[in-house]
């Protein structure tokens, strides 16, 4: 993302090396709270350069005025124009401020610029507010688990159908 998106003092920016630790920390904290950190999570979070960026994917961050990462989301290129919306999380202290929506809007804006044909996500039915956000922007439910799913916790499979 070349031009950061701003709203209410929050900027949405693309991956920068100094944010690598925040990407892992935010996601691991969330996963440990709700589920468990799976081996696949550890691989991706430990090396987003290799598992997301090198394959044409993107990582976005919501940054506050002090430069602190409040949330993150990734578009992981699975090949053949198919992207996964993944690793979306907002820090506990920043929830309820619309940051998830800012991240989602920025991810969809970015996705629209890609040579892509499908955007999907995997989630869990326990995450009602997240599912409501996904549905509100055009994600529709499809049979779960998705063929080739990386996640034992995934019992929701959605595809963006604006």
* pLDDT tens-digit map of 45-103: 999 999 999 999 999 999 999 999 999 999 999 999 999 999 999 999 999 999 999 99
- Domain range holding 108? 5-117
Q: What is the pTM of this model?
A: 0.93
Residue 162's pLDDT band (boundaries 50, 70, 90)?
confident
State in Å, rounded, how far the first CA of the chain is from the last one. Answer: 22
Q: Is residue 126 part of a domain?
A: no
Q: Is residue 127 part of a domain?
A: no
Q: Is residue 150 part of a domain?
A: no
Q: Is residue 16 part of a domain?
A: yes
Q: Is residue 35 part of a domain?
A: yes
Q: Is residue 63 part of a domain?
A: yes
CATH number reported for the structural domain that contains residue 84 in this entry: 3.40.630.30
CB atoms within 10 A of CB 69: 20
Number of domains the chain contains = 1
The rounded distance, in Å, linking the Cα atoms of 112 and 38 is: 30
Q: Is residue 28 part of a domain?
A: yes
The mean-pLDDT minimum among 2-16, 54-68, 117-131 falls in 2-16
Q: What burial letters (b/e) apply to 31-43, b meaning 16+ CB within 10 Å?
A: beeebeeeeebee
Q: Is residue 161 part of a domain?
A: no
């Amino acid at each position: 993302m070349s031009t950061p998106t701003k709203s209410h003092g929050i900027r949405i920016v693309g991956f920068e090396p100094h944010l690598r630790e925040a990407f892992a920390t935010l996601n691991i904290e969330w996963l440990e709270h709700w589920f468990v950190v799976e081996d696949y999570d550890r691989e991706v979070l430990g090396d987003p350069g290799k598992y997301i960026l090198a394959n044409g994917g993107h990582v976005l961050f919501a940054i506050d005025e002090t430069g602190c990462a409040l949330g993150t989301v990734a578009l992981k290129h699975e090949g053949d124009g198919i992207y996964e919306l993944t690793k979306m999380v907002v820090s506990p202290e920043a929830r309820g401020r619309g940051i998830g929506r800012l991240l989602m809007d920025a991810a969809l804006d970015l996705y629209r610029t890609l040579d892509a044909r499908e955007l999907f996500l995997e989630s869990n039915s326990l995450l009602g507010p997240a599912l409501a956000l996904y549905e509100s922007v055009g994600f529709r439910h499809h049979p779960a688990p998705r063929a080739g799913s990386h996640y034992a916790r995934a019992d929701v499979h959605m595809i963006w159908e604006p």
